[in-house]
Amino acid sequence: MTGEPETPWTAPDVERPGGSLVAPEAQMLPEMLAWHRSTLLSKCSGLTGEQLVERSVVVESGGDPFSLRFVYLHLIGEYARHNGHADLVRERVDGATGA
């Protein structure tokens, strides 16, 4: 959004042979959560309300510029969908429904 070069992906290594991603082992969870929090804080610190509606500088190939507001709304929707999937799995495992 700022026009600065994007830093490469630096998440803890969770990729396994064959290119598939797997759930991290229990001892990796604190490391993954710390990485997630630090990444969010570094990317979101210093943002102002005006920046939510500004258009992106970098555009995906063949795409249109997008706003940070669009990115945030997309992420909220993705989290909601995946949380819904987790609820369905939990319901199948233990029969519990609702929150």
Contact predicate 55/65, CB 8 Å: yes
Quick one: which of 5, 24, 7 has its CA closest to 15?
24
Give the pLDDT of residue 93. 83
pLDDT at position 21: 54
**pLDDT tens string 30-39:** 887 887 788 7
- Given a cut of 60, whether residue 96 has pLDDT beyond it is yes
What's the angle, vertex CA 47, arms to CA 36 and CA 80, rounded to 5? 50
Residue 1's closest CA among 42, 46, 51, 37?
A: 51
Q: In the prediction, which pLDDT does 81 show?
A: 83
- Map out the domains of the chain as residue ranges: 10-94
Q: What is the pLDDT of residues 8-24, one digit of tens each?
A: 555 555 555 555 555 55
| pLDDT tens-digit readout, 62-91 | 777 778 888 888 888 888 888 877 777 878
Instruction: Find out whether 47 and 68 touch, Cβ atoms under 8 Å.
Output: yes
Average pLDDT over all residues of the chain: 71
pLDDT of 26: 61
